[in-house]
Chain A
Amino acid sequence: MKEPALKLTQLEIGHQQKAGRKIVLLPPINITLTEASLVALAGINGAGKTTFLKTITGLHQPISGDIELFGFQPNKLSRSELAKMVSIVLTDIADDFYLRTEDVVAMGRYPHLGFWGKLKTADKTIVEDAMYKCGIAHLIGRRLISLSDGERQKTFIAKAIAQDTPLIVLDEPSAFLDYPGKLELMTLLRNLVREQQKTILFSSHDLDLLMRFADQLWLISPSKPIISGSPELLASSGKIGEYFNRNKLAFNSITGKFQSENSSAQSVFVDRNVTHYYWVVNALNRNGFALSKHDTVGFHVSDQDGNYKLTMADKQYICADIDELIHQILKQC
Chain B
Amino acid sequence: MSSIFGKIPVGAIMAASVVMLILLGLLNLFLGSVIIPPEDVWHILTGKTQLDDQVKQLIVLQYRLPQAVTAIFAGAGLAVAGLLMQTLFRNPLADPSILGISSGSSLGVALLLLFSGTNTGLFLSESGWIGQTGLIMSALTGAFFVLIIISWLSRIMSDMVSLLIAGIMISYITGSLVGITKYFSQKEDLQAFVLWGLGSFSNVGQARLPFFAIAVALGLLLSVFLVKPLNLLLLGERYAANLGVNVKRTQFFILIISGVLTAVITAYTGPVAFIGLAVPHLARNLLGESSHRILLPAVMILGASLALACNLIARLPGFEGSLPVNAVTSLIGAPVVVWFLIRRKHLYSNGK
Interface of A toward B, CB cutoff 8 Å = 54, 57-59, 79-80, 82-83, 86-88, 90, 92, 94-100, 103-104, 107-108, 110-111, 113, 115-118, 141-143, 145-147, 163
What number of B residues sit within 8 Å (CB to CB) of A?
29
Residue B116 CB within 8 A of the other chain: no
Residue B56 CB within 8 A of the other chain: no
Counting chain A CB atoms within 10 Å of each CB, the highest count among B228, B235, B246, B284 belongs to B235
User: Quick one: which of A79, A100, A143 contacts B244, CB cutoff 8 A?
Assistant: A79
Q: Distance in Å from the Cβ of A52 to the closest Cβ of chain B?
A: 14
B242–A98 touching, CB < 8 Å? no
User: Quick one: which of A97, A100, A107, A143 contacts B232, CB cutoff 8 A?
Assistant: A107
Residues of A near B155 (CB, < 8 A) are none
Cα distance A31–B236 in the bound complex, in angstroms: 30
Q: Could you write out 13 A-B pairs with CB less than 8 Å apart?
A: A92-B238, A96-B290, A97-B347, A98-B284, A98-B347, A99-B234, A107-B243, A110-B228, A110-B232, A110-B243, A143-B347, A143-B348, A145-B347
Interface of A is mostly: loop
Residue B43 CB within 8 A of the other chain: no
Residues of A near B352 (CB, < 8 A) are 141-143
Residues of B near A98 (CB, < 8 A) are 284, 288-290, 347
Q: Distance in Å from the Cβ of B322 to the closest Cβ of chain A?
A: 36
Query: Known contacts A97-B347, A98-B290, A99-B290; is A117 also within 8 Å of B228 by CB?
Result: yes
Q: Distance in Å from the Cβ of A56 to the closest Cβ of chain B?
A: 12
Query: Known contacts A98-B290, A116-B227; is A92 also within 8 Å of B239 by CB?
Result: yes
Residue B50 CB within 8 A of the other chain: no
User: Quick one: which of B90, B245, B284 contacts A79, CB cutoff 8 A?
Assistant: B245
A57–B242 touching, CB < 8 Å? yes
Query: Known contacts A110-B232, A116-B293; is A79 also within 8 Å of B351 by CB?
Result: no
Cα distance A86–B238 in the bound complex, in angstroms: 13
Q: Distance in Å from the Cβ of B340 to the closest Cβ of chain A?
A: 11
Residues of A near B231 (CB, < 8 A) are 107, 110, 117
User: Quick one: which of B239, B344, B350 contacts A97, CB cutoff 8 A?
Assistant: B344
A92–B236 touching, CB < 8 Å? yes
User: Quick one: which of A79, A100, A107 contacts B235, CB cutoff 8 A?
Assistant: A107
In the complex, the chain B residue whose C-beta lies closest to that of A142 is B351
Cα distance A280–B235 in the bound complex, in angstroms: 47
In the complex, the chain A residue whose C-beta lies closest to that of B242 is A88
Residues of A near B351 (CB, < 8 A) are 141-143, 145-147
